[in-house]
Amino acid sequence: MTHPAAEPAPSAAPAAGTRASAHHQILIIGGGTGGITVAARLRRAGLRDIALLEPSDTHWYQPLWTLVGGGQAPLRAALRTEAEVIPPGVRWLRERATAVDPAARTVTTATGRVLSYGRLVLAPGLSLDWDGVPGLAAAVGHDGVSSNYRPDLAPYTWELIRRMRRGTAVFTMPSGPVKCGGAPQKIAYLAADYWRKRGVLGAIRPVLALPESSLFKVPVFARALEQTARRYGIEVRLQTELTRLDGAAREAELTDHATGTAETIRYDLLHAVPPQHAPRWLADGPLADPASPYGYVKADPQTLQHPDFPEVFVLGDVANLPTSKTGAAIRKQAPVLVGNLLAGLRGRPATARYDGYTSCPLVTARHKMLLAEFDYDLRPAPSFPFLDTTRERTDMWFLKRYGLPQLYFQGMLKGRA
């Protein structure tokens, strides 16, 4: 499927001292959820000169990866080609960004091309640091170690769960902000539910290691998840994370940050989530927030503009915002960002505001789910006030499995939702 290129940009001279090979009124870095959603909304608003930098030919709906790992969805349901999702009229530049010079308003690509812009939208996502835990990179993908944070490994997670009859299963989460903060524990609940239904849960020791001081930051959902963990007999280790892995020996070192003690556990199955940070070219550049040790980009939490460079807008996982990194957050961020970007082009102030809304669909069993929705202040912000989404519901599971993917592909990525 091909798309017509955007109309040529009006002639614009690059900043002094900068050689630019092309100029675009709007340049978007990243063809994932944030980049495509913003591009679609801008096109629907009538903008014609939009370019999108994205080297990948594939586009993933990542929230389904947990269900793939839990044996509840096929991997192909989460996959589209990039060409299918790029809005008509948006110029697709199949290159990788390597640097941004916000003072000169230029972006350099991996081929050495320099692009200038009128407005820049940053939505490149984040980087998974498999080397951030000694031994993890070498072990993941075989001998009982998997991760739903890689699409090619999600089916392996299900294979390991399905084959397990006895032993120790360890599920871990790293310190720092990660995409879909509920995913590291959701797979533990799906696995335990499957083992319970097969009658083998009594012979399995499930261990869930989380770096946080509670199962969830919003108390009402934390209490519900505590009940879920007790139901399955999951050994919850709070303020604890994976600090070393010996794949050959099948040994995981778990460090309790509250006491400073480390324990080595021999595992039969290990689901690991790698540490995560901003792409290095952003983390080491002038747009990174000095307050973020992970290099995430500085952004006004309400307007989503960079405070030092108002021509730069940021959304999604790479933004240093005090909310969970989810696709649901992007759904609320995109219209705010687009509204403020358009206001700037028209010489008006940025008046649209993002309140920190995010959503974590917490799958707790086959066909059961809690829907945790909240804002910057950790106040519940339900989309369905007539439903009690603080308890496990079957209808919410069907929403996640079938409704939300349709909302994503037919709504968000087309600028309609």
For residue range 80-106, list pLDDT tens digits in order.
Answer: 999 999 999 999 999 999 999 999 999
Which of 7-21, 55-69, 278-292 has the lowest average pLDDT?
7-21
Our answer to whether residue 360 is catalytic in this structure is yes
Q: For position 119, what pLDDT does the model report?
A: 98
List helix spans (H) across 319-358.
327-345
Task: Choose, from 136, 139, 180, 270, the residue flagged as catalytic.
Answer: 180
- In percent, the amount of the chain with pLDDT more than 70 equals 95
Q: For position 13, what pLDDT does the model report?
A: 35
Return mean pLDDT, the chain.
94
Would you say 104 and 15 are in contact if contact means Cβ atoms under 8 Å apart?
yes
Residues 357-377: b if buried by 16+ CB within 10 A, e if exposed: bbbbbbbbbbbbbbbbbbebe
For residue range 255-293, list pLDDT tens digits in order.
Answer: 999 999 999 999 999 999 999 999 999 999 999 999 999
Q: For position 20, what pLDDT does the model report?
A: 55
C-alpha to C-alpha distance for 187 and 91, rounded to whole angstroms: 38
CATH 1.10.260.40 for domain 131-275, yes or no, is: no
Task: Choose, from 36, 133, 342, 360, the residue flagged as catalytic.
Answer: 360
Neighbouring residues of 112: CB distance < 8 A, sequence distance ≥ 6: none
List helix spans (H) across 11-168.
33-44, 65-69, 82-85, 136-139, 154-163
- Confidence band, pLDDT 50/70/90 cuts, at residue 9: very low
Tell me which residue of 324, 334, 378 sits closest to 354, measured CA to CA.
334
pLDDT higher than 70, residue 150 = yes
What amino acid occupies position 245?
A: L
DSSP state of 23: E
pLDDT higher than 80, residue 126 = yes
Q: For position 165, what pLDDT does the model report?
A: 98
- Confidence band, pLDDT 50/70/90 cuts, at residue 26: very high
For the segment 59-82, the average pLDDT, to the nearest whole number, is 97
For residue range 376-387, list pLDDT tens digits in order.
Answer: 999 999 999 899
- Confidence band, pLDDT 50/70/90 cuts, at residue 21: confident
- In percent, the amount of the chain with pLDDT more than 90 equals 94
For residue range 203-257, list pLDDT tens digits in order.
Answer: 999 999 999 999 999 999 999 999 999 999 999 999 999 999 999 999 999 999 9
C-alpha to C-alpha distance for 413 and 3, rounded to whole angstroms: 15
Q: For position 385, what pLDDT does the model report?
A: 86
pLDDT higher than 80, residue 336 = yes
Our answer to whether residue 180 is catalytic in this structure is yes
pLDDT higher than 50, residue 168 = yes
pLDDT higher than 80, residue 14 = no
Which helix (H) or strand (E) segment holds residue 411: the answer is none
φ, ψ at 399 (rounded to 5°): -60, -45
Q: What residue spans in the chain does CATH classification 3.50.50.60 cover?
A: 22-126+278-354, 131-275
Among the four given CATH numbers 3.30.1490.20, 3.40.50.2300, 3.50.50.60, 3.30.70.660, the one describing domain 22-126+278-354 = 3.50.50.60
pLDDT higher than 60, residue 345 = yes
Would you say 343 and 319 are in contact if contact means Cβ atoms under 8 Å apart?
no
